[in-house]
Chains A and B, each alone.
Chain A
């Protein structure tokens, strides 16, 4: 791997840590919104699938070794137990799918729309299943807690996340132009 790619990944993981905590002014009902989903999509869109998912994986590792990089300045191995840890895992895959769709030579509007939808779907499927898994496995929640309950909890955040996703996808081409950074995409031998 080239040194420059490595460092860009590290800096993106650091940017993600900033994005998770930097928006105290963006609150809905007193709960600060994190810009993590935004940064995950940007990671995929700007760095491509390989480096983007690597950057997100790095972010996850940073949190696990105890740097307070997760939302609300949390971190540590203990965060694995938190029911919302699945979202942090999902960002790796979000960056990957978005990167896969947007790293092609010519990207049309259809690519952007499908990238956005896939990002949200991946984010929610992994995140919500993790919540369910955490509550049933570690907490050994009895039958009273059903799969549907887990999903209805998460549904509350959906409108915000859709808004953030659209915003992120508008930002991708703008930032690409400003940064003038082209990730190395492995070309198939013609």
Chain B
């Protein structure tokens, strides 16, 4: 459990998608999410699907990891598909069985909307599958850098995110330790009515919070003692670099956008 959390959903690798600069990936995904909503014809969906599948195979991430990303909204996809199937009444009547009537319009609409979800999830989960959260944090800091001009605390935000990421596994471990310690003293978490079990959370929560706050205090003091004073003039451990590969991917993506608008249905 702890190991999966440190690295998130990241699948280590050295594929083309892994080697891309995280800023490139974030930018492309940002625009992809927007243009998905412009697709409205068979060929425009085909262009986007081709790009999505191409990225997936280029990333060499096993398909079951991608499928795992689909799980949270699996229900939504099925639900919308059925809703469109049964309620949309455009086109030719395909099937009639007592009160259920299925029209071609419903089938097409249902498939189109499900495809949209599939593409969105596919491309966004590729980001988290091929990039560590810490790399994304660095990239976000770089992308938002211009906002510093309007006094938006970009560096502070990135620092806070890195600290959180660093401490999630620690706190999970701590929780595990405390709950075992309390269980050995006779606290029963697993049986009894819900109210009793909620009460059993108290001897877990109080030490957890106390230790978390103590850690915060120690860390703050350590940082102050080492003269931490914000982002001005700090150097970085991990430098981001735009390579030739990134530029090629940008060009490819612009082609996809052009392709989408050429095959789109106007009218």
> Hey, which bits of chain A sit against chain B, CB under 8 A?
1, 3-4, 6-15, 17-18, 22-23, 25-26, 28, 35, 42, 46, 58-59, 61-62, 65-69, 72-79, 81-83, 134-135, 138-145, 160, 163-164, 167, 171, 174-175, 178-179, 181
Nearest CB in chain A: distance from B127 CB, A? 7
How big is chain B's contact interface, by range? 35 or more
Check: B131 CB closer than 8 A to any chain A CB. Answer: yes
Do A11 and B87 form a contact, CB below 8 Å, given A3-B228, A140-B80? no
Q: Is the CB of B220 within 8 A of A3?
A: yes
Closest-by-CB residue of A relative to B114 is: A139
Q: Is the CB of B69 within 8 A of A78?
A: yes
Known: A23-B201, A139-B80. 5 other contacts (CB 8 A): A1-B156, A18-B168, A67-B168, A171-B205, A178-B209
Do A76 and B69 form a contact, CB below 8 Å, given A62-B133, A66-B127, A135-B76? yes
B156: chain A residues within 8 A (beta carbon): 1, 6
Q: Would you list which residues of chain B between 137 and 192 have a CB under 8 Å from chain A?
A: 137, 140, 153, 156-157, 159-161, 163-165, 167-168, 170-172, 175, 189-190
Q: Is the CB of A74 within 8 A of B72?
A: yes
Q: Is the CB of B163 within 8 A of A78?
A: no
Do A11 and B198 form a contact, CB below 8 Å, given A135-B76, A139-B76? no
Q: Is the CB of A163 within 8 A of B113?
A: no
> Hey, which bits of chain B sit against chain A, CB under 8 A?
4-5, 8-10, 29, 33, 69, 72-73, 76, 79-80, 83-84, 86-88, 109, 113, 116-117, 120-121, 124-125, 127-128, 131, 133, 136-137, 140, 153, 156-157, 159-161, 163-165, 167-168, 170-172, 175, 189-190, 194-195, 197-198, 201-202, 205-206, 208-210, 212-213, 215-217, 219-220, 223-224, 228
Q: Is the CB of A179 within 8 A of B124?
A: no
Q: Is the CB of B205 within 8 A of A163?
A: no
Can you spell out 7 A-B residue pairs with CB atoms less than 8 angstroms apart? A6-B156, A8-B220, A61-B161, A67-B5, A75-B8, A76-B69, A135-B76
Instruction: Tell me the dominant secondary structure on chain B's binding face.
Output: helix
Do A142 and B164 form a contact, CB below 8 Å, given A18-B175, A66-B133, A167-B198? no
Do A10 and B213 form a contact, CB below 8 Å, given A74-B72, A175-B206? no
Do A18 and B171 form a contact, CB below 8 Å, given A66-B9, A67-B165, A143-B87? yes
Q: Is the CB of A28 within 8 A of B194?
A: yes
Nearest CB in chain A: distance from B99 CB, A? 13
A26: chain B residues within 8 A (beta carbon): 194, 197-198, 201
Q: Is the CB of B175 within 8 A of A4?
A: no
Nearest CB in chain B: distance from A103 CB, A? 17
A81: chain B residues within 8 A (beta carbon): 73, 76, 117, 120-121
